[in-house]
């Protein structure tokens, strides 16, 4: 089974694809970084790139981070709009979706619901048995989300 983890945002959308056939194995990871100025243009570009990612990766399941209340309402609203576009594309393509809160992902991957990004990235590398995880922490966060989905499926949660 291939699981696509998604860390939604407006400036960067992290993604991480893992396979669960023989343990957990990294397939690919990265970020989608729309450079447009307006939110509408960013979401339009994000949609194009996300559709391409889905066509290339063909996941069996997508796991996406739930929104949490942010101090900056404007940013939270923009992330919610980008997240909505991503969910719509996943559902249009028949990809089942599961959602996890950030503290749930951190607790499952790092053993502590308030773990920092460095701790999460370190545990992602250990779990996936990789030496390096270059790039933005959005991608390691997305992999943590995918790992959480894989663990929950294995445990029947």
How far is the C-alpha of 11 from the C-alpha of 115, rounded, in Å? 23
SS3 38: coil
Catalytic residue among 65, 78, 137, 141: 65
Q: Is 60 a catalytic residue?
A: no
Q: Which domains, and CATH codes, for the chain?
A: 2-155 (3.30.420.10)
For residue range 67-78, list pLDDT tens digits in order.
Answer: 876 677 778 888
For residue range 95-148, list pLDDT tens digits in order.
Answer: 999 999 999 999 999 999 888 989 999 999 999 999 998 888 999 999 999 999
Q: Does the pLDDT value for residue 157 go beyond 60? A: no
| Residue 6 pLDDT | 98
How far is the C-alpha of 88 from the C-alpha of 106, rounded, in Å? 26
Task: Establish whether 141 is an annotated binding residue.
Answer: no
Q: Is 7 a catalytic residue?
A: yes
Q: Is 141 a catalytic residue?
A: no
Put residue 58 in one of left, alpha, beta given phi > 0 → left and psi -120 to 50 → alpha. left
Sequence-distant (≥ 6) Cβ neighbours of residue 47 within 8 angstroms: 85, 89
Task: Establish whether 65 is an annotated binding residue.
Answer: yes
Q: Does the pLDDT value for residue 62 go beyond 60? A: yes
Catalytic residue among 7, 78, 99, 137: 7
| Residue 21 pLDDT | 87
For residue range 13-58, list pLDDT tens digits in order.
Answer: 999 999 998 899 999 999 999 988 899 999 999 999 999 999 999 9
Q: Are 105 and 7 in contact (CB under 8 A)?
A: no
| Residue 124 pLDDT | 97
């Amino acid at each position: 089974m291939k699981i696509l983890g998604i860390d939604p945002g407006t400036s960067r959308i992290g993604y991480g694809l893992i396979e669960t056939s023989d343990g957990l194995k990294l397939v690919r990871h990265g970020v989608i970084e729309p450079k447009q100025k307006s939110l509408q243009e960013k979401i339009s570009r994000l949609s194009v790139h996300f559709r391409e990612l889905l066509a290339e990766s063909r996941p069996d399941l997508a796991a996406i981070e739930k929104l949490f209340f942010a101090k900056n309402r404007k940013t939270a609203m923009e992330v919610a709009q980008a997240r909505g576009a991503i969910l719509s594309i996943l559902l249009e393509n028949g990809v089942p979706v599961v959602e996890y809160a950030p503290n749930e992902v951190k607790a499952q991957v790092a053993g502590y619901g308030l773990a920092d990004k460095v701790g999460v990235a370190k545990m992602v590398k250990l779990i996936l048995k990789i030496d390096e995880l270059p790039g933005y922490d959005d991608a390691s966060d997305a992999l943590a989300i995918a790992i959480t989905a894989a663990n929950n499926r294995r445990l029947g949660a």
